[in-house]
Amino acid sequence: MADSVRRKIRILFAASEAVPFVKTGGLGDVAGSLPVALKAAGAKVSVILPKYSFIPQEYKEQMQHIADFYVPLSWRSVYCGIEKLNYEGVDFYFVDNEAYFKRDSAYGYFDDGERYAFFSKAICEAIALLPELQVDILHCNDWQAALAPVFIREFYQGSDACRNVKTIFTVHNVKFQGQYSDKMLSDVLGLADNPTAAGQLYCDRDSINFMKGALCYSDIITTVSPSYASELQMPFFGEGMDGIFRRRSNVLHGILNGIDQHVWNPETDEMIPEKYSIATLAKKAKNKKALQQELGLRQDPERPLVVMIGRLTNQKGLGLVRYAMNRLMERCVQVAILGTGDKDQEDAFKYFAWTYGDMMSAYIAFDDALSHRMYAGGDILLMPSEFEPCGLSQMIAMRYGTLPVVRETGGLQDSVMPYNQYTGEGTGFRFANMNADEMADCLLNACEVFWTNKDAWVKLQKQAMKTDFSWSRAADEYLGIYYDLHPEIVRYDQKR
């Protein structure tokens, strides 16, 4: 083994999106927050992502062009510029190629496979060619960066800069795997005459799967909650990859994401009508009143206001909500939905809003400011997801003293502690099965506590608000894994 050395471990975090440059979902939040937390915990962290043309101008103006080279992609030799920007103490490297990334949005193009194969290869070239980018750990996220662990072993093992790089792959949502025609093996990846690599990438007779490549090649696999790490090994959740997750379960870790506790803080949130904290929780009522008024709901403090904020897709268990809607309305529960997604779901909730007048509101839009007002003004956040790798909404809601009612799956199960009526413990309410009546029973039980036992309710709110969902907790867990992969590096903050 190499001599031990005491220094900061050097991480390159690769993702297709990162806040504040580009965000389409939870991955953007993670790639924006986790590197900053890792840096604070004592690692040297850089992030690499594509330079999309729609990154806000203010950031593009601050980028510095530091290198360019050509990336081999089978028979192609493709231009790649590297731009750099320091943000909150972390170096962000942007992979520049206008043919691939000068588009209106990040994903959804005919050549996405080629675009992100290029991105993954460019990451490896950058590690091999940029002396300033010394890397101990390459941490890749989701299918868009999934080929980097494959390429680094197959093409760059001989390079001094890459030889000791260990790879980690994080699954944020196994539904999206990057599956393409096997013609890409020869046409883009240059791996057709490498039977080992091809065998790992093949998923069906004629197709290859980027994520499968990363799951086979990476030294460590992580996902975004411990429960999802277990679920991924089951056929129902594994989306065809469950066998690989079972085979590699010895290197599979589930680490619950955090939330940005500065952005989501009712004590300092400029976007809500009335700021409050655990000590001034009574002021939350003003936010409820204002929200009821804004959404056209009856201004009655005694009606529990149930909010839902998120993508309106089947994953989120909306079928259960639709089925239970009449029952909830009969009990005078108010429901307010904010989201966009599948048209049939949007239409269904618009119909309910029209039918139930001042009992139900559906705001079909992406509106960050309104989401803050809803987290602050709601009494209950409903999240009956069919599956939920981590879920951020329930953690944000708890921070605002809005109690979550969730189905026991993935990160919902790991972050919401169920109410115990005998001890008063808990931070929310949970139900087990994808069953609309079970969900409604659970939700109405929560309402019962809201109506009849205010002390227990307030105690639950305070417990929820106190829960630690900071990124520093997650960063510590990731750091432990990074250092385990490099036993020769002595933790810089630990005694020898």
DSSP string, 194-250: -HHHHHHHB-SSSEEEHHHHHHHH-SEEEES-HHHHHHTTSHHHHTT-HHHHHHTGG
Which residue, 160 or 368, is less far from ligand ADP as judged by CB?
368
Rg, Å, the chain Cα set: 24
Which residue, 217 or 375, is less far from ligand ADP as judged by CB?
375
Q: Min. distance of Cβ 464 from ligand ADP in angstroms?
A: 16
Q: Nearest 10 degrees: CA dihedral of 367, 368, 373, 377?
A: 90
Q: Which of 300, 367, 408, 476 binds ligand ADP (CB under 6 A)?
A: 367
Helices (H), ranges, 357-409: 368-377, 393-399
Nearest of 383, 375, 482 to residue 434 by alpha carbon:
383
Which residue, 29 or 112, is less far from ligand ADP as judged by CB?
29
Task: Return all residues near 455 (Cβ < 8 A) that are at least 6 apart.
Answer: none
Q: Which of 8, 19, 25, 281 binds ligand ADP (CB under 6 A)?
A: 25
Contact assessment for residue 265 and residue 272, using Cβ atoms and an 8 Å cutoff: no
Which residue, 182 or 379, is less far from ligand ADP as judged by CB?
379
Count residues near ligand ADP (CB under 6 A): 17
- Whole-angstrom Cα distance, residue 19 to residue 29? 6
Q: Which of 171, 244, 392, 440 binds ligand ADP (CB under 6 A)?
A: 392
Which residue, 30 or 130, is less far from ligand ADP as judged by CB?
30
Cβ atoms within 10 Å of 493's Cβ, excluding its own = 10
Q: Min. distance of Cβ 393 from ligand ADP in angstroms?
A: 4
Instruction: Name residue 13's beta-bridge partners.
Output: 47, 139
Closest residue to ligand ADP, based on beta-carbon distance: 26
Residue 3 is given by DSSP the state P
Q: Which of 246, 326, 366, 425 binds ligand ADP (CB under 6 A)?
A: 366
Q: Min. distance of Cβ 273 from ligand ADP in angstroms?
A: 17
Q: Min. distance of Cβ 476 from ligand ADP in angstroms?
A: 21
Secondary structure of residue 311 in the 3-state scheme: coil
- Letters for 340-359 (x = contact with ligand ADP by CB under 6 A, - = none) are x-------------------
Nearest of 314, 322, 438, 334 to residue 380 by alpha carbon:
334
Which residue, 108 or 158, is less far from ligand ADP as judged by CB?
108
Which residue, 31 or 309, is less far from ligand ADP as judged by CB?
309
Considering only residues 307 through 336, tell me which ones interact with ligand ADP, judged by CB under 6 A. Answer: 309-311
Which residue, 19 or 198, is less far from ligand ADP as judged by CB?
19
Q: Min. distance of Cβ 369 from ligand ADP in angstroms?
A: 8
The structure tokens listed for 181 are 């025609």
Residue with tokens 């919902």: 412
Q: Which of 160, 368, 455, 468 binds ligand ADP (CB under 6 A)?
A: 368
- Asked if 371 is part of the footprint of ligand ADP (rule: CB under 6 A), the reply reads yes
Q: Min. distance of Cβ 403 from ligand ADP in angstroms?
A: 16
The window from 38-46, 80-88, 365-373, 440-448 that contacts ligand ADP (CB under 6 A) reads 365-373
Helices (H), ranges, 363-452: 368-377, 393-399, 410-415, 436-452
Which residue, 208 or 392, is less far from ligand ADP as judged by CB?
392
- Whole-angstrom Cα distance, residue 23 to residue 368? 12
- Whole-angstrom Cα distance, residue 337 to residue 382? 10
The window from 34-42, 271-279, 360-368, 452-460 that contacts ligand ADP (CB under 6 A) reads 360-368
Residues that bind ligand ADP (CB under 6 A): 25-26, 309-311, 338-340, 366-368, 371, 390-393, 396
